Amino acid sequence: MILGMSISAFTTLHVIISLVAIVLGLVWVADLLRGRQSALIVGLFLLTTILTSVTGFMFPASAVTPAHIVGGISLVALAAAVLGLYAFDLRGIWRPVYLVTAVLSLYLNIFVGVVQAFQKIGPLAALAPTQSETPFVIAQTIVLALAIIVCWLALRRFRGGGMSAA
C-alpha cells in the first residue's frame, strides 16, 4: 500500500500524473515557441512534473535505481525552473536557466515514458527486449534531438514576460 492505495492503483495514479505532465509540457513548449506562455499551463506543467518525480520515489525499492537518479535530476532541475520563474521573474541569467531546466524536466519525463513503453507495450518490447537494440536507441535519440532543438528555439524565441492568464 502507498498512500492508502494498492500498488496497482498508485501506479495508475502515477502514470496519469506523468501523462498529464507530458501533455501540459508539450502545450507549454508550443506556447514558448510562439514567444509566450500561459501562467496556468506553466504552473500546472511544473506542478504535475514535480508530482511525477515525487510519486516515483514512493514505489518500494531496496536500492537506488536508475529511476531514482532520473527523478532526482528532474527535481533539482525543477527547483531551478521554479526559482527562475517565480522567485527571480526570469530576470538575467534566470530566463535561460528556467528554459533549460524546464525543458530538461520535460525531456526526462518523456525519456522515462519511452523506457516504460518499450518495457510494457508488447510490440515495442519485442523490438527491443533489453532496451539496447537499435529501435530503442533510435527512439531515445529522436526524443533527445527534439528536446535539444526545442530548447534552442525556446532560448531564441521566448524573451520572458508575455505571461497570459489562460
Q: Please report, for the chain, how many H helices and E strands are present, in that order.
A: 6, 2
pLDDT at 101: 98
- Mean pLDDT, rounded, for 51-74: 93
pLDDT at 164: 55
Domain span holding position 118: 7-161
pLDDT band for 159, please (50, 70, 90 cuts). Answer: confident
In a domain, 166, yes or no: no
DSSP string, 62-80: SS--HHHHHHHHHHHHHHH
In a domain, 93, yes or no: yes
**What digits encode the pLDDT tens for the residues 98-133?**
999 999 999 999 999 999 999 999 999 999 999 899
In a domain, 38, yes or no: yes
In a domain, 26, yes or no: yes
In a domain, 1, yes or no: no
- Mean pLDDT, rounded, for 39-49: 97
CA distance linking residue 155 with residue 63, whole number of Å: 38
In a domain, 24, yes or no: yes
pLDDT at 41: 97
In a domain, 122, yes or no: yes
pLDDT at 162: 46
Q: What is the CA angle 153-158-160, rounded to 5? A: 155
Looking at the structure of the chain, the number of domains it has is 1
